[in-house]
């Protein structure tokens, strides 16, 4: 249903799973200490901290690699996406 004035609801871009854009896949390793720097730098709002660890939502991660590049502990490794 198209709303008058092309007004739309908040946050519905979640319907658009951008994970399939990915060619490289970040993997969080045991070196992660949950500092959260990757979360602040992630353009795609797809990293959260759970139990002091970075957790990546692969439904949306586009695989840019900023998280791996900025991690002060080198705790994120970029691997070829096989899915």
Partner 1 sequence: MSVSVMEGSMAVAEAIKVCRPKVISAFPISPQTHIVEELSKMVADGQLDAKYIRVDSEFSAASAVYGSSATGVRSYTASSSQGLLLMIEVLYAMAGTRLPVVLTGVNRTVSAPITIQPDHQDTMALRDTGVIQLHVENSQEAYATHIQAFKLAEDHDILLPVMVCMDGWILTHSYEPIKLEDQKLVDSFLPNFVPKYRLDPKNPLTYGAYADEQVQEFRLMQHFAMERAKSKIEVIANDYQKIFDQYYGGLIDEYKCDDAEVVLVAMGSVIGTFKDAVDTLRTEGVKVGIVKVRSYRPFPGEKIAQAVKNARVVAVMDKSMSVGQGGPLATDVKSAFANKEAPPVLSCIAGMGGRDVTIETVRKMVTKAQLALKTGKIPDIEYTDFRPEYLED
Partner 2 sequence: MASQERINLLAPGHRACPGCGAAVALRQILRPLGRNTIAVSATGCVETFTSPYDQSSWEVPWMHSLFENSGAVASGVRAALDVQGEKDVNLVVISGDGGTFDIGMGALSGMLERKDNVTYICYDNEAYMNTGVQRSGSTPHAAATTTTPSGKKSYGKIEYKKDVPGIVWAHDAEYVATASIAYPQDLMRKVKKANEIYGPKYIQVHTPCCIGWGFDASKTIQVGKLAVETGLVPIYEMEKGQPVKVKKAAEKKPIEEYLKVQSRFKHLFKEQERDEVIKELQAICNANIEHFGI
Catalog residues that contact partner 2 under the rule CB under 8 A: 6, 8-18, 21-22, 36, 39-46, 48-49, 57, 59-60, 62-66, 68-70, 78
Token couple for 20:
């399939």
Q: What span, in angstroms and rounded, lies between the C-alpha atoms of 20 and 44?
A: 13
Least distance from C-beta 30 to partner 2, angstroms? 22
| Residue 3 vs 82, nearer CB to partner 1 | 3
**Does residue 15 touch partner 1 according to CB under 8 A?**
no
Compute φ and ψ for 57, nearest 5 degrees: -90, 105
């Amino acid at each position: 249903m198209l709303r008058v004035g092309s007004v739309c609801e908040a946050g519905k871009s979640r319907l658009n799973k951008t994970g399939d854009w990915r060619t490289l896949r970040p993997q969080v390793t045991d070196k992660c200490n949950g500092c959260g720097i990757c979360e602040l730098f992630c353009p795609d709002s797809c990293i959260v901290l759970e139990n002091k660890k970075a957790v990546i939502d692969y439904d949306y991660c586009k695989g840019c690699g900023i998280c791996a590049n900025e991690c002060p502990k080198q705790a994120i490794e970029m691997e070829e996406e096989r899915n």
